[in-house]
Amino acid sequence: MRCSFCERRCDLSDDFHGFCQMYKVEEDRVVERYPFRWSGYQSSDIEMIPFYHAYPGTKSLVVGTMGCNLDCKYCLNSHIAKKQVEESRLYALTPEQILKAARLAGCHNIVFGVNEVTVSFPSFLALAKAAKKQGFAVGCLTNGYLTEEAAELLAEHVLFINLSLKSPSNQFYRHYAGINDVGPIIRNLRFFAERVHLEITTPIVQDVNDHEIPEIARLIAEIDPCIPWHLFRLLPEYKMQDYQYPDIKRIEGLLNIARQEVSYVYFSNFVGSKWVSTDCPLCGTPVVKRVALGTCGAQLAADLRVNEQCAGCGYRIPFLKQSASEQVAVS
Amino acid sequence: MSVAVIDVREWQTTVDFATGDLIEADEHHLVKLAKEIIAKRYYPGDVDNRSINWVTDTALDLAEAYQPDFLFLSYAQPHFYSLYQRFDPGKWEEICTTIFAEITRLVDLTGFTPVVVGLGDMVPLKERIDLTGLDGLGVATNWSFHYAGLYSPSQADLEQLNSDPRIERVVSKERFSELFDGSQEFLRRFPDYLLVAREGYTFRGFASGMREISRIPAKNYQIPIYTPLGNVQRLVDIHALLDQALPQRKVALILIEGIGQRDFRLPYQLIDNTEHWYIYENSRDHYLTITTGLHFQYGQFPPGHLDHAKGPKYPYSGGFTALPQNTLGRKKGIKSAAVGTRNMITHVAAGADICIECFARQLYNLGTIAIINDPKYFEGRDSPLKLAPA
Ligand code: SF4
């Protein structure tokens, strides 16, 4: 019997638990080995996840599990994604317990944001359903390697997604991520752009995919030039621990090229980055100021929009829903 | 104003420390100095033995170029090594030997009078007490090991926790404030209940880190201090001891995390490391109590608190939106400098004129940051740092 959550479509017969180690067959159905088991739950500024154009200034309850369906050689989360999955390291938490924590911690939304959402899909969807009922917005991170059926299900349950598009080429995915075909990821990118609020993250590995920045920019622009795009200065770990760090000045030059195609291009994962704030693409007026604190995201410093519009020219910058000051109280 | 220079390897930027806004401040001699030092001193990483030498080398650079009267140093590598790595007695011996050799090197080359505090031994982790099954919310952050916060518990939760042999005590907010008192901010943030684990146990729950840990601080009722400046009885007395010695003597206050009585290699006195039943463990509280002379409940953050609301000020200082003003580094009439491998705690606790620390989070090595604390140094003079944003 095959799993249909991601495009690996693992055959789970003979007690194989899938590439991600997270599924098994029981009574002719693919089920999770560890349903409602999580590797952690905590609150975070939504900008730190990162989502820059969704609910600015709100707190997110971030959950995650273990395992992954890709095998990125530079993985930053290998202590969670690439470790042997052990039940003892996971917390048993019902959706209700997670949502109670979210309320107590003053969170506005729930985000699956540690590892790949497809490897714990049924539990996440159940959490998303319960969260929606209680008025929480729900989002997730994904590497985009879902099947069409799973992508459809995900789009039904979440309002915002950050998809990691590592490269437009099969060659990169083959050498660095352990899959042969970027096609399904680009297919899902197009699909999510139509259905949910979408942001894209591209980890930049020096001399590996930095030359692809203009090509990725063109691809995003063709789908929707207003999709916020986060370039991520990757400090490789796991199997590429001693690899060089990307040269910021070199990337800066490529950012200027990317900006001609895509309106909202960000560059982060290093402290002090000046490329984490939003300027109006029409008149250049600062719209949202953020401070880069390393890691992938940033901290909101000031939301300068007036009635969700640029204070300089009145252009309506696409942001998902309301700002923090206008948010519906959920706690 | 205060300025921060950030170095993320082959790239630097200068920002207003209070707001994070980019500025140009290159003509300020301390900014220039900081830029030079952090450009040549890459931080090797939290568990890397070379980060011990990094502290000394960086401190020697600062001591030579800035000639401070007070030097604050924190060597946190033994703590991170013990916490996250599988314990290897040979490697541990090497760490202890290196630390004390480095302290000797620093003192020999600078002539500072050293006051060295071992913040306490570490012990193997016995078990993590899982708080996720409770009706209430158990908050177990990376900032505390034996302490966790509990919010909105049910009666059944309290009965269960009170009868758990791994838990030493369950203290309500009211009982805590009756015994300890505390600052308004601290008590406002205090959880409904504080949970205290027995030695060897730590909690896991909301906000716990996802990395596996192998050792945690022991219950160090007493910790060792080496000081030629006189006798001290308690943790809070260190501040007064140094306050009196400065500026007549050039003093280096050196904190070593993860090393206590068992591995301390200098002649020492033992000092009381407690406040009522609370035992200090390697953390922000430990540092601040030493450098301010005030017990932890007069600070801003209780263990296990849930309020992580960050104001727009001081984005590089964790949750702090106002920095403690009574630290030794802010003493009037002295020049002060600090170097540390306990990220933002170093500058918060030191409050030095110039402070260089690693910018590492959860073992991710993000670079280094130098903070130039201008208001004190330029007191009564026009600050050259009033510069237009870049
Ligand atoms: S989700 Fe896991 S088990 Fe299912 S196809 Fe993908 S890797 Fe295989």
| CB atoms A43 and B6 under 8 Å | no
B114 and B261 inside one domain: yes
Does the beta carbon of A299 lie under 8 angstroms from any beta carbon of chain B? yes
According to DSSP, the β-strands at A265-268 and A229-233 are parallel
B161 and B46 inside one domain: no
Task: Please identify, among B212, B228, B249, the residue that sits at the C-terminal boundary of a domain.
Answer: B212
B134 and B44 inside one domain: no
Among A residues 74-113, those touching chain B with beta carbons less than 8 Å apart: 76, 79-80, 89, 91-93, 97, 100-101, 104-106
> What number of other Cβ atoms are within 10 A of residue B240's Cβ?
11
pLDDT band at B340 (very low <50, low <70, confident <90, very high): very high
Does the residue A193 lie in any domain?
A: yes
B269 and B383 inside one domain: yes
Q: Are B221 and B235 in contact (CB under 8 A)?
A: no
B84: three-class secondary structure by DSSP: helix
* pLDDT score for B325: 87
Decide if pLDDT at A190 tops 80.
Answer: yes
* pLDDT score for B193: 98
Q: Tell me, what CATH number does A235's domain have?
A: 3.20.20.70
| CB atoms B315 and A93 under 8 Å | no
> What number of other Cβ atoms are within 10 A of residue A108's Cβ?
23
Q: Per mean pLDDT, which range of B28-37, B197-206, B256-265 is the poorest?
A: B28-37
> Which two tokens mark A247?
């040269």
Segments forming the whole domain that contains residue B101:
2-123+219-389
A135 closest CA partner among A308, A318, A331? A331
B189 and B330 inside one domain: no
B113 and B162 inside one domain: no
The DSSP 8-state label assigned to residue A190 in this structure reads: H
Does the residue A4 lie in any domain?
A: no
Taking only the tens place, the pLDDT of each residue in B104-151 is: 999 999 999 999 999 999 999 999 999 998 999 999 988 899 999 999
Task: Please identify, among B190, B212, B234, the residue that sits at the C-terminal boundary of a domain.
Answer: B212
Does the residue A129 lie in any domain?
A: yes
Segments forming the whole domain that contains residue A260:
35-265+314-326
Nearest protein CA to atom 3 of ligand 1, as residue: A18
Total domain count, chain B: 2
Q: Which long-range contacts (CB under 8 A, 24 or more apart) does B109-112 make?
A: B109/B60, B109/B63, B110/B60, B110/B63, B110/B71, B110/B250, B110/B252, B111/B250, B112/B63, B112/B71, B112/B250, B112/B251, B112/B252
Decide if pLDDT at A241 tops 70.
Answer: no
CA A123, chain centre distance (Å): 18
> Which two tokens mark A241?
């621990």
B207 and B232 inside one domain: no
> Which two tokens mark B58?
């960086």
pLDDT band at A239 (very low <50, low <70, confident <90, very high): low
Average pLDDT value for residue range A128-148? 97
The interaxial angle of helices B29-40 and B50-66, nearest 10 deg, is: 150
Does the residue A88 lie in any domain?
A: yes
Rounded Cα–Cα distance for residues B264 and B257 (Å) = 11
Decide if pLDDT at A323 tops 60.
Answer: no
Does the residue A135 lie in any domain?
A: yes
Predicted complex ipTM: 0.88
Q: Are B316 and B4 in contact (CB under 8 A)?
A: yes
Q: Which helix (H) or strand (E) holds B64?
A: helix B50-66
Residue with tokens 């317990």: A97
Does the residue A281 lie in any domain?
A: no
Does the residue A41 lie in any domain?
A: yes
Q: Are B50 and B41 in contact (CB under 8 A)?
A: no
B253 and B369 inside one domain: yes
**In chain B, whose CA is at the least distance from the CA of A290?**
B20
pLDDT band at A74 (very low <50, low <70, confident <90, very high): confident
Does the residue A22 lie in any domain?
A: no
B312 and B280 inside one domain: yes
Does the beta carbon of B341 lie under 8 angstroms from any beta carbon of chain A? no
B41 and B93 inside one domain: yes
Total domain count, chain A: 1
* pLDDT score for A283: 96
Rounded Cα–Cα distance for residues B200 and A144 (Å) = 42
Residue with the larger pLDDT of the pair A329 and B65: B65
Which pTM was predicted?
0.91
CA A180, chain centre distance (Å): 21
Could you tell me if the CB of A8 is within 6 A of ligand 1? yes
B75 and B224 inside one domain: yes
B263 and B370 inside one domain: yes
> Which two tokens mark B156?
């059944």
Taking only the tens place, the pLDDT of each residue in A198-223 is: 999 999 988 889 999 999 999 999 99
Decide if pLDDT at A31 tops 70.
Answer: yes
Task: Please identify, among B170, B195, B212, the residue that sits at the C-terminal boundary of a domain.
Answer: B212
Decide if pLDDT at A329 tops 60.
Answer: no
